[in-house]
């Protein structure tokens, strides 16, 4: 379970939610994930995440496995994470579609001889037609990206030693989803190049907007997700990839309409799953501050009002992963009159609640830069109201996420 935390104050509250779920017999490992982009925006350092994780584990006496994830790194950004992370998300999305030497393409196609014709993947009821042309197309899309993954992996292996870290390969930040057949050959390429991927993040069908529910065809997602799970199971045996290899769902928080689907499928095949969340915890901080009232409610209102005034600037880096209807954003004057409850209800993700406003929620999601600029004025409020804020963070992860993801 990826539990990113923008300002590194909610580690204990996040871990409390996981401890609670594990008491039901589950074995969930917390993974504190933070990308280079987030570190830049909030002026934090990779070592801060390690400190937060170790401290939370010590406070609660947590004895399970836990990890610190260098999220979305590449060869240019990985170095500062090497010492303190033990989970690396190799982002190779920008290499998809880059040209590879003709000899590499030929060698790949030649190595796939046994899959030509009708590829039958156990559990998938329709055989997949594999032609040489299809293999050339797939090589054109993914050979360079998987080569890049192997270069980052080699760098890490050299620095940290084999087996001392988890390898995730991510291709999610692109327009076009990867199909299950793409995934099968991507896994073959990774195995061929010696990348022992333990989690893989494809781009799934549908929209995974930040902090709000999934938008798309749930039935189509269900079919694709199930086929991906079966492809992974087959690829593990076929290519000798790590047996724990699992799907990773990025921007995975708040996707309530597909949680039951994923829960059912991983249960059906007894598989694992990695879900990354981050922004959802930052939103709970703002909810907690609103509920605390007084100057804390004023700060929550300031964050919204300031973000509203700088909407274009704050939304620009997230243009592909948010959908805000401007006409449904409340004005600064309106929000100024809100009570604690009204503000919290507008922001809290309770689908169907009359006050819930996904537009306001998405704007505040990208507004963490405002809180970052407030500096200690913001973090002092987090410290002062740690109890109410922590209760919101824990409730959100346990009640709204883990319960739905694992049928608790």
CB of 261 to Zn ion, least distance (A): 20
**What's the distance, CA 404 to chain centroid?**
17
Q: Which stretch binds Zn ion (CB under 5 A): 191-199, 248-256, 285-293, 333-341?
A: 248-256
Q: Residue 89 CB, nearest distance to Zn ion (Å)?
A: 7
Structure tokens belonging to residue 140: 């054109």
- Residue number, nearest CB to Zn ion: 250
Q: At residue 200, what are phi and psi to the nearest 5 degrees? A: -135, 130
Size of the residue set binding Zn ion (CB under 5 A): 2
Minimum separation from the CB atom of position 168 to Zn ion (A): 10
CA dihedral 110, 112, 114, 117 (to 10 degrees): -100
**372 and 310 in contact (C-beta within 8 Å)?**
no
**Alpha carbons 227 and 165: distance in angstroms, whole number:** 28
Per CB under 5 A, the segment of 22-30, 96-104, 249-257, 323-331 that binds Zn ion is 249-257
Site string for Zn ion, 128-167 (x = CB under 5 A): ----------------------------------------
Q: Which stretch binds Zn ion (CB under 5 A): 168-176, 179-187, 389-397, 399-407?
A: 168-176
Determine how β-strand 87-91 pairs with β-strand 166-170. parallel
Q: Determine the 3-state secondary structure of 135 from DSSP.
A: helix
Of 24-32, 45-53, 246-254, 304-312, the window that binds Zn ion (rule: CB under 5 A) is 246-254
CB of 320 to Zn ion, least distance (A): 11
Is 274 a binder of Zn ion (CB under 5 A)? no
Part of the chain binding Zn ion (CB under 5 A), chosen from 236-244, 247-255, 267-275, 357-365: 247-255
172 is a site residue for Zn ion (CB under 5 A): yes
Contacts of residue 107, defined as CB under 8 A and 6 or more positions apart, other chains included, come to: none
Q: How far is the CB of 72 from Zn ion (least distance, A)?
A: 6
Cβ-based nearer residue to Zn ion, 232 or 275: 275
- Count helices and strands (H / E) in the chain: 18, 10
Alpha-carbon gap, residue 118 to 133, rounded angstroms: 14
123: left (phi over 0), alpha (psi -120 to 50) or beta: left
Residue placing its CB nearer to Zn ion in the complex, 279 or 358: 279
The token pair at 84 is 């303190």
CB of 172 to Zn ion, least distance (A): 5
CA distances from 212 to 85, 169, 379, 384 (A): 28, 24, 25, 28
Question: Which span (98-106, 243-251, 332-340, 344-352) binds Zn ion, by CB under 5 A?
Answer: 243-251
Nearer to Zn ion, 172 or 254 (CB): 172
Pick from 16, 147, 188, 250: which binds Zn ion (CB under 5 A)?
250
Stretch that binds Zn ion, among 242-250, 279-287, 307-315, 390-398 (CB under 5 A): 242-250
| Residue 38 binds Zn ion (CB under 5 A) | no
DSSP per-residue codes, 167-199: EEEE--SSSSPPPHHHHHHHHHHHHHTT---SE
- Closest alpha carbon to 86 in 166, 155, 22: 166
Give strand pairing partners of 226: none
- When the beta carbons of 266 and 321 are compared against Zn ion, the nearer one is 321
Three-state DSSP class for residue 274: strand
Residue closer to Zn ion (CB basis): 172 or 285: 172
Give 93 or 119: the residue with its C-beta nearer to Zn ion.
Answer: 93
Token pair of 397, please?
């992860």
Query: Which residues contribute to the site for Zn ion (CB under 5 A)?
Result: 172, 250
């Amino acid at each position: 379970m990826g539990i990113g935390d923008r300002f590194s104050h909610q580690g204990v509250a996040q871990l409390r939610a996981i401890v609670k779920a594990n008491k039901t017999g589950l074995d969930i490992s917390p993974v504190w994930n933070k990308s280079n982009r987030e570190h830049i925006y909030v002026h934090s350092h990779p070592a801060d995440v390690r400190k937060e994780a170790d401290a939370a584990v010590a406070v609660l006496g947590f004895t399970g496995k836990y990890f610190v994830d260098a999220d979305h790194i590449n060869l240019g950004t990985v170095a500062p994470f090497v010492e303190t992370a033990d989970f690396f998300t190799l982002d190779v999305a920008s290499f998809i579609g880059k040209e590879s030497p003709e000899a590499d393409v030929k060698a790949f196609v030649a190595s796939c001889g046994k899959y030509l014709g009708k590829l039958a993947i156990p559990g998938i009821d329709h055989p997949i037609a594999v032609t040489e042309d299809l293999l050339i197309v797939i090589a054109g899309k993914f050979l360079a990206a998987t080569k890049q993954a192997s270069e980052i992996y080699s760098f890490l292996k050299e620095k940290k030693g084999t087996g001392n870290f988890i390898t995730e390969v991510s291709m999610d930040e692109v327009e076009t989803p990867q199909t299950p057949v793409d995934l099968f050959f991507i896994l073959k390429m990774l195995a061929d190049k010696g990348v022992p991927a333990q989690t893989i993040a494809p781009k799934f069908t549908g929209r995974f907007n930040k902090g709000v529910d999934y938008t798309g065809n749930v039935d189509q997602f269900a079919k694709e997700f199930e086929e991906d799970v079966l492809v992974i199971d087959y690829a593990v045996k076929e290519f000798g990839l790590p047996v724990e290899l699992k799907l990773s769902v990025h921007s995975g928080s708040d996707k309530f309409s597909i949680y039951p689907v994923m829960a059912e499928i991983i249960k059906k095949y007894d598989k694992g799953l990695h879900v990354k969340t981050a922004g959802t915890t930052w939103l709970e901080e703002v909810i907690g501050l609103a509920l605390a009232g007084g100057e804390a409610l004023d700060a929550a209102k300031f964050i919204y009002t300031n973000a509203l005034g700088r909407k274009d600037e704050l939304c620009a880096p997230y243009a592909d992963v948010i959908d805000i209807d401007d006409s449904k954003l409340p004005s600064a004057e309106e929000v100024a009159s809100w009570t604690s409850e009204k503000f919290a209800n507008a922001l809290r993700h309770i689908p169907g609640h009359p006050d819930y406003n996904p537009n306001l929620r998405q704007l505040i999601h990208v507004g963490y830069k405002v809180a970052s600029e407030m500096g200690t004025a913001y973090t002092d409020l987090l410290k002062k109201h740690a109890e109410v804020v922590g209760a919101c963070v824990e409730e959100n992860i346990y009640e709204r996420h883990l319960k739905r993801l694992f049928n608790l």
